[in-house]
Amino acid sequence: MAWLSTEFYYYKASPPCRAVWMTLKLLKVDFEEKPVDLLKAENKRPWFIRMNPQHTVPTFNDQSFILWESRAIMMYLMNKHGNEENQYLYPKEPEERAKVDRMLFFDMGTLYQAIKDYFAPKLHQGLPPDPEKENLLKTSLDYLDNHLEMGGVPYLCGERPTIADIAVLASITELDAMDYQYKCYGEFNRWVERIKENIKVYKECCEEGIKMTKDHVKQLEADMKKQMEKERKASLTKK
């Protein structure tokens, strides 16, 4: 019988990959790391597209069951590996679980989307973020700040962290990579400090990827500066 492995295809600089990676580590799943370099377009190679036609990371191959979409992978991991010790990360009781699901969908559809849209020019071209898109990001952070203040509990869905805290934390790591300040959102900022401190795998799964994005942006900004200088000189010689 063929030996079937459990493989995690990921790129360290990708926030959704960091969310799944932290979940895998917290659940102590045995898996093989399969780095995919997006800058070298490894995700566009035929073997990868055969596995995931959407060519996104994270992609998870659990003994030939292939799954992508970070939050779906996190839910699957909990459904498969949840036990008495870790079930608090994704409670089974319908109302408690619904609160976690709501926050996961908010993270994916609103918060992370706002982060991606605002920073797209910086991340892809080395240009300043799009000021017209900042409002949605501020609204999302404001909402989280109020949610935590009104809830009066240390984590997004209660007394203990859940996979929703992990997903939101992973999204927030992109703000760290972009040097975006969020200290003005007091409760939210305290939550970020608390979750980073209490999710022991945070450093291992996030810090290198944050640095990769910072370095990538620095390089793009330097290239953009050179390009603009070149264009400025060219326009002066034309006059």
Q: Which residues bind ligand GSH (CB under 6 A)?
A: 14, 16, 38, 43, 55-58, 68-70
With respect to ligand GSH, which residue has the nearer C-beta, 57 or 141?
57
Q: How far is CA 147 from CA 151, 152, 180, in A?
A: 6, 9, 21
Per DSSP, the residues of 9-74 read EE-TT-HHHHHHHHHHHHTT---EEEE--GGGTGGGSHHHHHH-TT--S-EEEETTEEEESHHHHH
Terminal-to-terminal C-alpha distance of the chain: 75
| Angle 97-14-219 from CA coordinates, rounded to 5° | 155
Q: Which is nearer to ligand GSH, 56 or 140 (CB)?
A: 56
Residue 170 DSSP SS3: helix
Question: Which residue lies nearer to ligand GSH by CB, 46 or 152?
Answer: 46
Beta carbon of residue 14, minimum distance to ligand GSH (angstroms, whole number): 3
In the complex, minimum distance from the CB of residue 20 to ligand GSH, in angstroms, rounded to a whole number? 8
Integer angstrom CA distances of residue 172 from 30, 51, 165, 210, 234: 27, 29, 10, 10, 41
Q: 7: which 2 tokens?
A: 């493989």
Positions marked catalytic: 14
If the CB atoms of residues 55 and 216 are measured against ligand GSH, the closer one turns out to be 55
